[in-house]
Amino acid sequence: MTAPARRPLASYVVGNAGLRRPSADAWRTAGITVVCVLVACALAALLVAISGGSPTEVVDALVTGSVADSAGWSQTLVNAAPLLLVALGACIANRAGVFNIGQEGQLLIGAMLGCFVALRLQGPGWMVITVALVAAAAGGGAWSGISAAMYYTRGTNVVVTTLLLTFIAAQVVQFAVNSPSLLQETGIGNGPARPQSDAVPEYLRLASFGQYPDLTIGVGVILAVVATVVLAVLIARSRWGFRLNMLGLNPMAARHAGIRASRLGGSALVLSGAFAGLAGGVILLGTVFRLQPAISNNFGWDGLLVALVARSRPGLALPVAVLFGGLRAGSSYLAATGVPDYLVDVVQALLVLAFVVPPVLSALWGRRIRNRSAVPDTPARPSAAPAKEEVPV
Protein backbone atom coordinates (compact mmCIF):
# COMPACT_ATOMS: atom_id res chain seq x y z
CA MET A 1 0.00 0.00 0.00
CA THR A 2 2.86 2.36 0.69
CA ALA A 3 4.54 1.82 -2.65
CA PRO A 4 2.44 3.11 -5.50
CA ALA A 5 2.91 0.76 -8.35
CA ARG A 6 2.73 3.30 -11.13
CA ARG A 7 5.34 5.74 -9.95
CA PRO A 8 8.14 5.38 -12.44
CA LEU A 9 11.67 5.33 -11.14
CA ALA A 10 12.49 8.35 -13.24
CA SER A 11 10.09 10.54 -11.34
CA TYR A 12 12.18 10.18 -8.21
CA VAL A 13 15.42 11.07 -9.93
CA VAL A 14 14.02 13.84 -12.05
CA GLY A 15 12.93 17.16 -10.71
CA ASN A 16 10.14 19.06 -12.37
CA ALA A 17 11.09 20.87 -15.50
CA GLY A 18 9.46 24.12 -14.57
CA LEU A 19 10.81 26.50 -11.98
CA ARG A 20 9.10 26.53 -8.64
CA ARG A 21 9.13 28.94 -5.80
CA PRO A 22 11.37 27.81 -2.94
CA SER A 23 9.12 25.81 -0.70
CA ALA A 24 9.22 24.75 2.90
CA ASP A 25 11.07 21.66 1.73
CA ALA A 26 13.74 23.72 0.00
CA TRP A 27 14.37 25.73 3.15
CA ARG A 28 14.52 22.59 5.20
CA THR A 29 17.01 21.06 2.78
CA ALA A 30 19.18 24.15 2.98
CA GLY A 31 19.12 24.04 6.78
CA ILE A 32 20.02 20.37 6.88
CA THR A 33 22.83 20.97 4.40
CA VAL A 34 24.40 23.58 6.64
CA VAL A 35 24.23 21.21 9.60
CA CYS A 36 25.67 18.33 7.57
CA VAL A 37 28.56 20.41 6.28
CA LEU A 38 29.37 21.53 9.82
CA VAL A 39 29.27 17.93 11.03
CA ALA A 40 31.47 16.79 8.15
CA CYS A 41 33.96 19.58 8.91
CA ALA A 42 34.03 18.62 12.57
CA LEU A 43 34.60 14.96 11.71
CA ALA A 44 37.31 15.85 9.21
CA ALA A 45 39.02 18.12 11.76
CA LEU A 46 38.88 15.36 14.31
CA LEU A 47 40.45 12.89 11.89
CA VAL A 48 43.20 15.29 10.95
CA ALA A 49 43.91 16.07 14.59
CA ILE A 50 44.04 12.39 15.51
CA SER A 51 46.49 11.64 12.73
CA GLY A 52 48.74 14.42 13.94
CA GLY A 53 47.90 17.21 11.50
CA SER A 54 46.53 20.66 12.09
CA PRO A 55 42.85 21.11 11.28
CA THR A 56 43.16 24.84 10.76
CA GLU A 57 45.86 24.31 8.16
CA VAL A 58 43.69 21.80 6.38
CA VAL A 59 40.73 24.16 6.24
CA ASP A 60 43.05 26.91 5.14
CA ALA A 61 44.38 24.74 2.32
CA LEU A 62 40.91 23.70 1.20
CA VAL A 63 39.74 27.29 1.00
CA THR A 64 42.94 28.58 -0.55
CA GLY A 65 42.84 25.92 -3.22
CA SER A 66 39.27 26.59 -4.26
CA VAL A 67 37.74 29.98 -3.55
CA ALA A 68 40.16 32.18 -1.64
CA ASP A 69 41.52 34.01 -4.66
CA SER A 70 41.18 34.11 -8.40
CA ALA A 71 43.81 31.38 -8.81
CA GLY A 72 41.70 29.15 -6.58
CA TRP A 73 38.57 29.99 -8.56
CA SER A 74 40.37 29.16 -11.79
CA GLN A 75 41.18 25.71 -10.43
CA THR A 76 37.58 25.27 -9.26
CA LEU A 77 36.25 26.10 -12.71
CA VAL A 78 38.74 23.84 -14.46
CA ASN A 79 37.47 20.98 -12.32
CA ALA A 80 33.84 21.97 -12.66
CA ALA A 81 33.76 21.94 -16.47
CA PRO A 82 34.13 18.17 -17.04
CA LEU A 83 31.90 17.44 -14.06
CA LEU A 84 29.21 19.61 -15.57
CA LEU A 85 29.53 18.05 -19.01
CA VAL A 86 29.21 14.56 -17.56
CA ALA A 87 26.27 15.67 -15.42
CA LEU A 88 24.43 17.15 -18.43
CA GLY A 89 24.66 13.80 -20.18
CA ALA A 90 23.40 12.03 -17.09
CA CYS A 91 20.45 14.46 -16.94
CA ILE A 92 19.42 13.48 -20.45
CA ALA A 93 19.56 9.75 -19.79
CA ASN A 94 17.83 10.03 -16.42
CA ARG A 95 15.01 12.02 -17.91
CA ALA A 96 14.43 9.34 -20.52
CA GLY A 97 14.30 6.79 -17.72
CA VAL A 98 17.47 4.95 -18.75
CA PHE A 99 20.13 4.96 -16.09
CA ASN A 100 23.61 5.31 -17.48
CA ILE A 101 26.21 4.89 -14.74
CA GLY A 102 29.17 4.18 -17.01
CA GLN A 103 30.33 7.77 -17.58
CA GLU A 104 33.77 6.98 -16.24
CA GLY A 105 34.37 4.50 -19.06
CA GLN A 106 32.71 6.64 -21.72
CA LEU A 107 34.94 9.51 -20.65
CA LEU A 108 38.02 7.31 -20.99
CA ILE A 109 37.10 6.18 -24.46
CA GLY A 110 36.37 9.77 -25.41
CA ALA A 111 39.76 10.90 -24.16
CA MET A 112 41.41 8.06 -26.05
CA LEU A 113 39.81 8.89 -29.39
CA GLY A 114 40.43 12.59 -28.85
CA CYS A 115 44.07 11.83 -28.18
CA PHE A 116 44.32 9.68 -31.27
CA VAL A 117 42.99 12.47 -33.47
CA ALA A 118 45.11 15.14 -31.80
CA LEU A 119 48.29 13.17 -32.24
CA ARG A 120 47.67 11.84 -35.73
CA LEU A 121 45.66 14.44 -37.59
CA GLN A 122 47.53 17.17 -39.40
CA GLY A 123 45.98 20.51 -40.03
CA PRO A 124 45.29 23.92 -38.61
CA GLY A 125 44.92 23.97 -34.83
CA TRP A 126 41.28 25.02 -34.61
CA MET A 127 40.29 22.30 -37.03
CA VAL A 128 42.20 19.52 -35.31
CA ILE A 129 40.85 20.60 -31.91
CA THR A 130 37.30 20.56 -33.22
CA VAL A 131 37.70 17.17 -34.84
CA ALA A 132 39.36 15.81 -31.69
CA LEU A 133 36.49 17.00 -29.49
CA VAL A 134 33.91 15.63 -31.90
CA ALA A 135 35.79 12.34 -32.00
CA ALA A 136 35.86 12.28 -28.19
CA ALA A 137 32.12 12.79 -28.07
CA ALA A 138 31.57 10.20 -30.77
CA GLY A 139 33.71 7.72 -28.86
CA GLY A 140 31.79 8.18 -25.63
CA GLY A 141 28.53 7.99 -27.53
CA ALA A 142 29.54 4.82 -29.30
CA TRP A 143 30.53 3.28 -25.98
CA SER A 144 27.13 3.95 -24.40
CA GLY A 145 25.57 3.06 -27.76
CA ILE A 146 26.70 -0.50 -27.16
CA SER A 147 24.59 -0.54 -24.01
CA ALA A 148 21.69 1.01 -25.87
CA ALA A 149 21.88 -1.64 -28.59
CA MET A 150 22.00 -4.43 -26.04
CA TYR A 151 19.06 -3.00 -24.13
CA TYR A 152 16.76 -2.35 -27.04
CA THR A 153 17.47 -5.56 -28.91
CA ARG A 154 17.96 -8.07 -26.08
CA GLY A 155 16.64 -6.24 -23.05
CA THR A 156 19.95 -6.37 -21.19
CA ASN A 157 19.88 -4.10 -18.16
CA VAL A 158 21.43 -0.70 -18.92
CA VAL A 159 22.82 -0.18 -15.44
CA VAL A 160 24.69 -3.45 -15.65
CA THR A 161 26.08 -3.01 -19.17
CA THR A 162 27.18 0.60 -18.73
CA LEU A 163 28.94 -0.33 -15.50
CA LEU A 164 30.70 -3.37 -16.93
CA LEU A 165 31.69 -1.51 -20.08
CA THR A 166 33.50 0.95 -17.83
CA PHE A 167 35.91 -1.78 -16.79
CA ILE A 168 36.39 -2.84 -20.37
CA ALA A 169 37.07 0.78 -21.33
CA ALA A 170 39.80 0.96 -18.69
CA GLN A 171 41.41 -2.16 -20.20
CA VAL A 172 41.15 -0.78 -23.72
CA VAL A 173 42.92 2.41 -22.69
CA GLN A 174 45.57 0.41 -20.84
CA PHE A 175 46.16 -1.57 -23.98
CA ALA A 176 46.35 1.53 -26.17
CA VAL A 177 48.95 3.25 -24.02
CA ASN A 178 51.01 0.08 -23.76
CA SER A 179 51.12 -0.61 -27.49
CA PRO A 180 53.80 1.34 -29.33
CA SER A 181 51.83 0.87 -32.54
CA LEU A 182 48.83 2.61 -30.99
CA LEU A 183 49.29 5.42 -28.53
CA GLN A 184 52.30 4.63 -26.35
CA GLU A 185 54.78 7.48 -26.12
CA THR A 186 57.78 7.40 -28.38
CA GLY A 187 60.38 7.13 -25.61
CA ILE A 188 62.90 9.90 -26.03
CA GLY A 189 66.44 9.21 -24.96
CA ASN A 190 67.28 6.17 -22.94
CA GLY A 191 64.48 5.59 -20.37
CA PRO A 192 61.83 2.97 -21.14
CA ALA A 193 58.58 4.27 -22.60
CA ARG A 194 55.94 4.74 -19.89
CA PRO A 195 52.30 3.64 -20.25
CA GLN A 196 51.02 6.95 -21.52
CA SER A 197 50.76 8.77 -24.79
CA ASP A 198 52.88 11.55 -26.14
CA ALA A 199 51.93 14.99 -25.03
CA VAL A 200 49.53 16.85 -27.25
CA PRO A 201 51.46 19.63 -29.00
CA GLU A 202 51.12 23.10 -27.59
CA TYR A 203 49.06 24.53 -30.46
CA LEU A 204 46.35 21.90 -29.95
CA ARG A 205 45.71 22.74 -26.29
CA LEU A 206 42.45 24.45 -25.39
CA ALA A 207 42.85 28.17 -25.03
CA SER A 208 42.01 29.94 -21.85
CA PHE A 209 41.32 33.57 -21.22
CA GLY A 210 43.13 35.40 -18.46
CA GLN A 211 46.66 35.11 -17.07
CA TYR A 212 47.82 33.13 -14.07
CA PRO A 213 47.33 35.27 -11.01
CA ASP A 214 44.04 36.50 -12.42
CA LEU A 215 41.00 34.41 -13.09
CA THR A 216 41.48 32.13 -16.08
CA ILE A 217 38.56 30.64 -17.91
CA GLY A 218 39.20 27.80 -20.29
CA VAL A 219 37.33 26.94 -23.45
CA GLY A 220 36.08 23.85 -21.61
CA VAL A 221 34.26 25.98 -19.07
CA ILE A 222 32.64 28.07 -21.77
CA LEU A 223 31.63 24.97 -23.65
CA ALA A 224 30.05 23.46 -20.55
CA VAL A 225 28.13 26.60 -19.64
CA VAL A 226 26.80 27.06 -23.15
CA ALA A 227 25.76 23.41 -23.24
CA THR A 228 23.97 23.84 -19.92
CA VAL A 229 21.96 26.78 -21.13
CA VAL A 230 21.04 25.09 -24.39
CA LEU A 231 20.07 21.86 -22.67
CA ALA A 232 18.07 23.60 -19.97
CA VAL A 233 16.04 25.38 -22.63
CA LEU A 234 15.62 22.26 -24.73
CA ILE A 235 14.44 20.16 -21.81
CA ALA A 236 12.01 22.75 -20.55
CA ARG A 237 10.71 24.07 -23.83
CA SER A 238 11.33 21.83 -26.79
CA ARG A 239 9.29 19.02 -28.23
CA TRP A 240 12.27 16.73 -27.77
CA GLY A 241 12.41 17.62 -24.07
CA PHE A 242 8.70 17.07 -23.69
CA ARG A 243 8.92 13.65 -25.25
CA LEU A 244 11.98 12.79 -23.22
CA ASN A 245 10.18 13.62 -19.98
CA MET A 246 7.14 11.72 -21.08
CA LEU A 247 9.16 8.62 -21.91
CA GLY A 248 10.84 8.70 -18.53
CA LEU A 249 7.72 9.36 -16.53
CA ASN A 250 5.35 6.95 -18.22
CA PRO A 251 6.73 4.79 -21.04
CA MET A 252 3.28 3.31 -21.73
CA ALA A 253 1.68 6.67 -22.25
CA ALA A 254 4.67 7.69 -24.34
CA ARG A 255 4.18 4.72 -26.61
CA HIS A 256 0.49 5.47 -26.84
CA ALA A 257 1.49 8.94 -28.00
CA GLY A 258 3.65 7.48 -30.74
CA ILE A 259 7.07 7.65 -29.12
CA ARG A 260 9.46 4.90 -30.06
CA ALA A 261 11.33 4.07 -26.89
CA SER A 262 14.20 2.41 -28.72
CA ARG A 263 14.79 5.49 -30.82
CA LEU A 264 14.29 8.26 -28.25
CA GLY A 265 15.63 6.37 -25.23
CA GLY A 266 18.47 4.89 -27.24
CA SER A 267 19.52 8.26 -28.58
CA ALA A 268 19.33 9.72 -25.07
CA LEU A 269 21.72 7.03 -23.87
CA VAL A 270 24.08 7.69 -26.78
CA LEU A 271 23.89 11.42 -26.12
CA SER A 272 24.71 10.97 -22.46
CA GLY A 273 27.75 8.92 -23.41
CA ALA A 274 28.73 11.62 -25.90
CA PHE A 275 28.71 14.26 -23.17
CA ALA A 276 30.94 12.06 -21.02
CA GLY A 277 33.25 11.51 -24.00
CA LEU A 278 33.36 15.24 -24.62
CA ALA A 279 34.33 15.73 -21.00
CA GLY A 280 37.18 13.31 -21.63
CA GLY A 281 38.29 15.36 -24.63
CA VAL A 282 38.15 18.57 -22.61
CA ILE A 283 40.26 17.05 -19.84
CA LEU A 284 42.76 15.79 -22.37
CA LEU A 285 43.15 19.00 -24.34
CA GLY A 286 42.53 21.33 -21.43
CA THR A 287 44.51 20.07 -18.47
CA VAL A 288 46.27 16.70 -18.75
CA PHE A 289 47.50 16.87 -22.37
CA ARG A 290 48.34 13.18 -22.62
CA LEU A 291 46.34 10.00 -22.41
CA GLN A 292 46.96 8.17 -19.17
CA PRO A 293 44.97 5.30 -17.73
CA ALA A 294 44.13 7.51 -14.75
CA ILE A 295 43.05 10.48 -16.85
CA SER A 296 39.41 9.97 -15.95
CA ASN A 297 40.30 10.50 -12.29
CA ASN A 298 36.73 9.80 -11.09
CA PHE A 299 35.30 12.68 -13.12
CA GLY A 300 32.73 10.24 -14.52
CA TRP A 301 31.52 9.02 -11.17
CA ASP A 302 31.48 12.49 -9.63
CA GLY A 303 29.67 13.94 -12.63
CA LEU A 304 26.95 11.35 -12.22
CA LEU A 305 26.71 12.36 -8.59
CA VAL A 306 26.32 15.99 -9.63
CA ALA A 307 23.35 15.03 -11.81
CA LEU A 308 21.76 13.06 -9.01
CA VAL A 309 22.17 15.87 -6.50
CA ALA A 310 20.73 18.28 -9.08
CA ARG A 311 17.78 15.95 -9.62
CA SER A 312 18.54 15.85 -13.35
CA ARG A 313 17.92 19.56 -13.82
CA PRO A 314 20.64 21.12 -15.95
CA GLY A 315 20.15 24.55 -14.42
CA LEU A 316 20.76 23.13 -10.99
CA ALA A 317 23.68 21.01 -12.18
CA LEU A 318 25.68 24.15 -12.86
CA PRO A 319 26.05 25.34 -9.24
CA VAL A 320 26.38 21.77 -7.98
CA ALA A 321 29.22 21.15 -10.44
CA VAL A 322 30.95 24.32 -9.28
CA LEU A 323 30.60 23.15 -5.70
CA PHE A 324 32.06 19.74 -6.46
CA GLY A 325 34.75 21.34 -8.61
CA GLY A 326 35.68 23.53 -5.64
CA LEU A 327 35.97 20.49 -3.41
CA ARG A 328 38.25 18.83 -5.94
CA ALA A 329 40.41 21.92 -6.36
CA GLY A 330 40.63 22.39 -2.60
CA SER A 331 41.61 18.82 -1.97
CA SER A 332 44.31 18.74 -4.62
CA TYR A 333 45.78 21.88 -3.06
CA LEU A 334 45.53 20.10 0.28
CA ALA A 335 47.43 17.13 -1.13
CA ALA A 336 50.09 19.49 -2.38
CA THR A 337 50.67 20.77 1.17
CA GLY A 338 51.85 17.32 2.19
CA VAL A 339 48.76 15.96 3.90
CA PRO A 340 48.66 12.20 3.17
CA ASP A 341 46.55 11.13 0.21
CA TYR A 342 44.21 8.93 2.18
CA LEU A 343 43.33 11.79 4.50
CA VAL A 344 42.60 14.04 1.56
CA ASP A 345 40.31 11.39 0.13
CA VAL A 346 38.47 10.94 3.41
CA VAL A 347 38.03 14.67 3.87
CA GLN A 348 36.75 15.08 0.34
CA ALA A 349 34.39 12.12 0.71
CA LEU A 350 32.99 13.52 3.94
CA LEU A 351 32.30 16.86 2.29
CA VAL A 352 30.68 15.24 -0.73
CA LEU A 353 28.45 13.22 1.58
CA ALA A 354 27.52 16.39 3.38
CA PHE A 355 26.04 17.71 0.14
CA VAL A 356 24.51 14.51 -1.15
CA VAL A 357 22.70 13.36 1.96
CA PRO A 358 20.59 16.43 2.88
CA PRO A 359 17.93 16.09 0.15
CA VAL A 360 17.31 12.52 1.27
CA LEU A 361 17.19 13.46 4.93
CA SER A 362 14.90 16.34 4.10
CA ALA A 363 12.49 14.09 2.22
CA LEU A 364 12.39 11.59 5.07
CA TRP A 365 11.98 14.33 7.61
CA GLY A 366 9.27 16.04 5.60
CA ARG A 367 7.37 12.81 5.63
CA ARG A 368 7.63 12.60 9.40
CA ILE A 369 6.43 16.14 9.81
CA ARG A 370 3.48 15.53 7.59
CA ASN A 371 2.74 12.42 9.60
CA ARG A 372 3.04 13.91 13.06
CA SER A 373 1.61 17.35 12.92
CA ALA A 374 -1.31 18.98 11.30
CA VAL A 375 0.05 22.38 10.43
CA PRO A 376 -2.81 24.52 9.28
CA ASP A 377 -2.52 26.68 6.22
CA THR A 378 0.68 25.16 4.95
CA PRO A 379 0.16 25.03 1.23
CA ALA A 380 0.95 21.49 0.23
CA ARG A 381 3.66 20.90 -2.28
CA PRO A 382 2.16 18.32 -4.46
CA SER A 383 4.65 17.27 -7.06
CA ALA A 384 7.74 16.37 -5.17
CA ALA A 385 6.04 15.19 -2.04
CA PRO A 386 7.41 11.88 -0.81
CA ALA A 387 5.70 8.54 -0.88
CA LYS A 388 3.08 9.31 1.68
CA GLU A 389 1.17 11.70 -0.53
CA GLU A 390 1.68 9.61 -3.57
CA VAL A 391 -0.65 6.84 -2.75
CA PRO A 392 -3.12 6.74 -5.58
CA VAL A 393 -6.21 8.85 -5.25
Ligand X SMILES: Nc1ncnc2c1ncn2[C@@H]1O[C@H](COP(=O)(O)OP(=O)(O)OP(=O)(O)O)[C@@H](O)[C@H]1O
Instruction: List residues near another protein by CB under 8 A.
Output: 1-7, 11, 16, 18, 234, 237-240, 242-243, 245-246, 249-250, 252-261, 370-377, 379-380, 382-383, 388-393
Report the candidate in 310, 271, 251, 287 with the shortest Cα–Cα distance to residue 82.
287
Closest separation in Å from C-beta 253 to ligand X: 20
Cβ–Cβ under 8 Å, residues 285 and 204 = yes
In the complex with ligand X, which residue's Cβ is closer, 57 or 389?
389
Q: Which of another protein, ligand X, none sits in contact with 4, Cβ below 5 to 8 A by type? A: another protein
Q: Does 375 bind ligand X (CB under 6 A)?
A: no
C-beta closer to another protein: residue 18 or 22: 18
C-alpha 144/C-alpha 142 separation (Å) is 6
- Least separation, in Å, of the C-beta of 277 and another protein? 24
Among ligand X, another protein, none, residue 20 binds (CB under 5-8 Å by kind): none
Give the type of residue at 243: R
The entry of another protein, ligand X, none near residue 239 (CB within 5 to 8 angstroms by kind) is: another protein
CA dist., res. 243 & res. 238, Å (int):
9
Task: Provide the minimum distance between the beta carbon of 123 and another protein in the complex, in angstroms, as a whole number.
Answer: 32
State in angstroms the smallest separation of the CB of 375 from ligand X: 15
Residues 330-347 as b or e (16 or more Cβ within 10 Å = b): bbbbbbeeebeeebbebb
Comparison of 40 and 384: residue with beta carbon closer to another protein? 384
If the CB atoms of residues 124 and 382 are measured against ligand X, the closer one turns out to be 382
CA distance 110 to 303: 15
Taking the least distance from each CB to ligand X, the nearer of 42 and 391 is: 391
In the complex, minimum distance from the CB of residue 2 to another protein, in angstroms, rounded to a whole number: 6
Residue-wise over 173-193: b if at least 16 C-beta within 10 A, else e? beebbeeeeebbbeeeeeeee
By beta-carbon proximity to ligand X, the closer residue of 93 and 384 is 384
- Region of 311 (left: φ > 0; alpha: ψ -120 to 50; beta: rest) is left
Interface with ligand X, residue 389, by CB under 6 A: yes
Nearer to ligand X, 71 or 369 (CB): 369
**CA–CA gap between residue 62 and residue 314 (Å, rounded):** 27
* 390 makes contact with ligand X (CB under 6 A): no
Binding flag, residue 393, ligand X (CB under 6 A): yes
Number of residues located near ligand X, criterion CB under 6 A? 4
Least distance CB 379 / ligand X (angstroms):
9
The interface mask with ligand X, positions 326-365, x = CB under 6 A, is ----------------------------------------
* HEC letters along 28-74: HHHHHHHHHHHHHHHHHHHHHHHCCCCHHHHHHHHHHHHCCCHHHHH
Q: Are strands 217-218 and 208-209 parallel, antiparallel or unpaired?
A: antiparallel
The nearer residue to ligand X, 211 or 373, going by C-beta atoms, is 373
Kindly tell me which residue out of 380, 384, 386, 387 binds ligand X, with binding defined by CB under 6 A: 380
d(CA 101, CA 216): 31
Dist. CA 58–CA 330, nearest whole Å:
10
Smallest distance, ligand X to C-beta of residue 385, A: 7
Of the candidate residues 52, 155, 382, 392, the single one contacting ligand X (CB under 6 A): 382
Of the two residues 1 and 380, which places its CB atom closer to ligand X in the complex? 380
Rg from Cα positions in the chain: 22
Q: How far is the CB of 387 from another protein (least distance, A)?
A: 10
Contact 250, 242 (CB under 8 A): no
Nearest CA among 120, 110, 85, 84 for reference residue 204: 120
Query: 378 — alpha (psi -120 to 50), left (phi > 0) or beta?
Result: beta
Residues at the site binding ligand X, with contacts judged by CB under 6 A: 380, 382, 389, 393
